[in-house]
Amino acid sequence: MLKALQIEPEKCTGCLQCEMACSYENEGVFNPAKSRIKVFTFHDEGRFSPYTCTQCAEAWCLHACPVEAIVLNDLTGSKEVISDVCVGCKVCTIACPFGTVNYNHDTGTVIKCDLCGGDPACAKACPTDAITYVDADHTGLQRMRAHAALALPQ
């Protein structure tokens, strides 16, 4: 059974432990700028919301890549960037409607969440369980899709 990140923004305190864990896991440094997960701050309301790649079923980033550097990991369901194949054209960053594919200036390639191979560092580091790794059926993805379908023009 596939698993997915479940994010509950109301539990987020803005501590950025998810960003620090992600950057260390993937880049070997504690640097939120190099994280594949970001915490958005609603300054006026004093709220925070973590966001990262949702591993879309119809992954526009994957389909947009002209060199097929983004592939599906059948075990985790994540769409992963093969950095040796990526040419850094950034077409996938434009294709992603959520802005969760980012360009890494140090490597000249793109980076995105790959669920840490099935053991996401962000979920393990979150002290409030605002980010958890659960069965994909429990993330509310179907409810989100149903709500989005209602908003589409007929």
pLDDT tens track for 99-145: 999 999 999 999 999 999 999 999 999 999 999 999 887 665 565 56
Structural domains in the chain (count): 2
Average pLDDT over all residues of the chain: 92
Same domain, 71 and 106: yes
Same domain, 70 and 106: yes
Label residue 1 by pLDDT band (50, 70, 90): confident
Same domain, 60 and 80: yes
pLDDT tens track for 41-77: 999 999 999 999 999 999 999 999 999 999 999 999 9
- pTM equals 0.85
DSSP labels, the chain: --EEEEE-GGG-----HHHHHHHHHHHSS--GGG-SSEEEEETTTTEEEEE-----TT-HHHHH-TT--EEE-TTT--EEE-TTT-----HHHHH-TT---EEETTTTEEE---GGGGS-HHHHH-TT-SEEEEEGGGS-HHHHHHHHHHHS--
pLDDT for the residue numbered 136: 81
Can you give the residue range of the structural domain that contains 62?
56-112
Q: Check which CATH number belongs to the domain holding 101 and give it.
A: 3.30.70.20
